[in-house]
Structure 1
Amino acid sequence: MFYGCNVSCNQLPTSSNGDWSALIQRFSPHSYSIIYKRKEEGRFLPDFRSRLEVGVSSPKMMKLRVSAVQYHLHTINSFEEFANQVEHYIKTAQEFDADFVLFPEFFTTQLMSIGNEQGQPLTIQELPDFTEQYRSLFINLAKKTKMHIIGGTHVIRKGDRLYNVAHLFYPDGRVAEQAKLHITPTEVKEWNMSPGDGLQVFETEKGTIAMLTCYDIEFPEIVRIAKAKGADVIFCPSCTDDRHGFHRVRYTSHARAIENQVYVVTTGTVGSLPTVDFMRANFGQAAVITPNDIPFPPRGILVEGEINHDMVVTADLDLELLYQVRESGSVTTWRDRRTDLYPDWK
């Protein structure tokens, strides 16, 4: 159902030539006023149509609860220790009835601290050896808790290349991947990481999301594309080692939320891995970021953690509010793009 109207998604036209305007106006005038008010002006909002087609439509489904983990890095001795720590955070989010839980970028580097038989820390080249255990752990936890889990990022190997890949674990056992698209100089020089070559958005029963990792959020073009593809929530796992890096990601997360009128959920690693190169220093804080408009907090922050503390933060996202401000907010930044002057990201 859409906003309480008695029309199912399979009754809606599937062709671009279908009379969407007449049908939605008939069954739900409120929906019509939001979605089709500007169709005649050439400002049709495609994200609404895609949302109808996948059934994300009832008032209940327009809301979702997200948790973000400020993951505490410390030396461990076994994969079991890692698994127990992960399960602790997921059970915490489950106790808050979260629909989604986000882990940080590079949090699986903690596994490198286990070390080898000679007592030396593992190298980044050895981290992909844990991929099957990592996937199995998160698949089982997602199915058990019925939550969508963004398992931070994990380094995987394809051929002779290493990729920093965000993973979405669905409650039904499916797994989706999004490689980091923009690689920092340190990742290239010290870890020989390769960039991903494409952006996807992911449909869930709660809405359409994208996963953009840390440095990715600093590039406005890629977030424009994610929004144009229908994403309403950007999950941004991050790993920064000082205040400078942290604030680059944080400030640009706010900018992307304002520019695209989307939510951004971000978090980072805290703690330290004293034996693992480039993971000794961490400066992190989770936050759930909104556009800056009347329905939202003035600072554009629904919730944020205590900097560098081991904790989980939780907040509710109302997708309906996004659609309202896109149509009739104090500013309508997505609708008012000057596509006659610069590209219309599709």
Structure 2
Amino acid sequence: MIESYLAAAIQMTSTADIEANLDQAYALIGIAVRRGARLVSLPENFAFLGLEAEKLALAPRIAEMSEKFLVSAARDWAVTLLGGGYPVLAEQTAKCYNTALLVGPEGQELGRYRKLHLFDVNLPDGNTYHESDSIVPGKDLVVVRSDTLGNLGLSVCYDLRFPELYRALSAAGAEVLLVPSAFTAFTGKDHWRVLLQARAIENTCYVIAAAQTGEHYPRRQTYGHAMIVDPWGNVLSDAGDTTGIAIGEINPMRLEAVRRQLPVLQHRQL
């Protein structure tokens, strides 16, 4: 049986300044590890949160710096670290994959996920987002099996609105769902918490949801409230709306008990 451990969901206010973002991330990882975290997630766009055209132009540099950072930070702090998404150039196209990378405490790559669902919306607050202008979707589910952390299902931000993805992850054995995000302030106030709780409850999984918060550039504001949610839907930790950390216990015995009491994964008919 895997022993209980602490996980951390980091909350940042990233900008277009890559070096400053990575410095901020490194410091927050250190705080999380000193508080006992063995699994740490950074939010979507942790290394760069600026205009889409600028992100596309800088994509090779962002990708290189992001991956070097994740490897070195995981080694330095001896922690399993998820960073994503960040742009990685896609083959035979001028666009990128929105990529999340899971790195082990020795700097080894454990899993690489390419965001499946792209955020192309026109919101009532007047903001328009067209992620597909610069990003192409991935194709694969990713569940990373760990002898010390359990089975980790990877996703990114807008994926959260597609329950079939998380049902597929839980059917593939996921016990902990990671959702690094940069949820908009407008949608987050109504949907963020309830969606995280729904994904936890319907799949009887823990959810670790790192987040962006605050204003990143004019007219781009994110909601914050990085969270750890347990398989019953209880919010174990909420980082509020400032930079910081949500930290909570991942308890395999608790997960087993909930799945025994409510064996919904065994009762599926479709």
Normalising by structure 2, what TM-score? 0.87
The residue type equivalent to 1:324 in the other structure is A
8 A Cα contact 1:65 1:97, kept in partner: yes
Structure label with greater radius of gyration: 1
Rounded Cα–Cα distance in structure 1 between residues aligned with 2:195 and 2:217: 29
Whichever structure has more strand as a proportion of its residues is 2
* Separation in 1, partners of 2:215, 2:16: 8
C-alpha deviation, 1:313, in angstroms: 1.7
- Do residues 107 (structure 1) and 46 (structure 2) align? yes
Residues 1:92 and 2:26 are matched in the alignment: no
Partner of 1:177: 112
Distance verdict in 2 for CA 1:272–1:191, change over 3 Å: farther
Give the match for residue 222 of structure 2.
Answer: 282
Contact 1:68–1:286 (8 Å) recurs in 2: yes
Q: CA 1:152–1:123 in 2, change beyond 3 Å: closer, same or farther? A: closer
RMSD over aligned CA atoms reads 2.1
1:143 aligns with 2:143: no
Asked if structure 1 preserves the Cα contact closer than 8 Å seen for 2:225 and 2:239, the reply is yes
Determine helix, strand or coil for the equivalent of 1:237: coil
1:69 and 1:223, CA in 2 relative to 1: closer, same or farther beyond 3 A? same
Distance 1:247 1:90, change over 3 A: same
Mapped partners of 1:169, 1:197: distance in 2: 21
Partner residue, 1:52: none
Deviation track 1:260-293 (CA, whole Å, cap 9, x = no partner) reads: 1111111211122226xx6x2121111111233x
Q: How does 1:114-263 map to 2 (within 5 A)?
A: 122-159=54-91, 160=93, 161-175=95-109, 176-186=111-121, 188=130, 191-204=133-146, 205-263=148-206
Q: What letter corresponds to residue 173 of structure 1 in structure 2?
A: G
5+ residue gaps in structure 1? Answer: 1-56, 114-120, 293-298
Give the secondary structure class of the aligned counterpart of 1:138: helix
SS in 2 for 1:154: strand
Q: For each residue in 1:199-238, what CA deviation from the matched residue of structure 2 results, as whole angstroms up to 9, or x when unmatched? A: 0100223211011111212211111111111110001011
User: What TM-score, normalized to structure 1?
Assistant: 0.69
- Larger RCO: Structure 1 or Structure 2 (Cα < 8 Å, ≥ 6 residues apart)? 2
How far apart are 1:246 and its partner, in Å?
A: 5.0
For the residues of structure 1 that align with 2:193 and 2:61, how far apart are their CA atoms?
Answer: 32
Structure 1 position 320 matched with structure 2 position 253: yes
Q: Percent identity?
A: 24
Whichever residue aligns with residue 272 of structure 1, its letter is: E
Q: Which residue of 2 aligns with 1:332?
A: 263
Shift of 1:188: 4.0
CA distance in 2: counterparts of 1:108 and 1:83, whole angstroms: 6
